[in-house]
Amino acid sequence: MTNAQIIFNESIRLVEEGVINGTGRMFEAIITDKDGNEEKKLVEEPEAIHTYAAWQQLGYQVKKGEKAKASFTIWKYAEGKKEEGSEEEPEGKMFMKKAHFFTMDQVEKISK
């Protein structure tokens, strides 16, 4: 499962549990559970959630004192270390890491 799929599925679950808001727009989606079972459902589109770093890339800063609305594991890529004198490119690796997610009401536009 890709990060986009993981975040989408978790967002749907968070809307259903009332942790985050929906946008009011409904659509039909195929939801995949952790066991890989798929189910077609009519769901409300969730509000955007992003990690701290992703909000910064979008030009926002998480407000001081805000706590993550949700935490769950996503894929992370780490580059391998290049050895001195070696001309070979180091191999990177993928692993699952817990990430913390914030909603739009928890951030503010970065003023320049």
pLDDT tens-digit profile of 18-34? 999 999 999 998 877 77
For the residues 42-59, what does the mean pLDDT come to? 95
Look at strands 22-32 and 107-109 and give their pairing: unpaired
> Is 60 in contact with 109 (CB distance < 8 Å)?
yes
Burial of 8 (0-12, 13-18, 19+ CB in 10 A): middle
Across the chain, mean pLDDT equals 91
Tokens, residue 29: 């989606």
Q: Is the pLDDT of residue 78 over 80?
A: yes
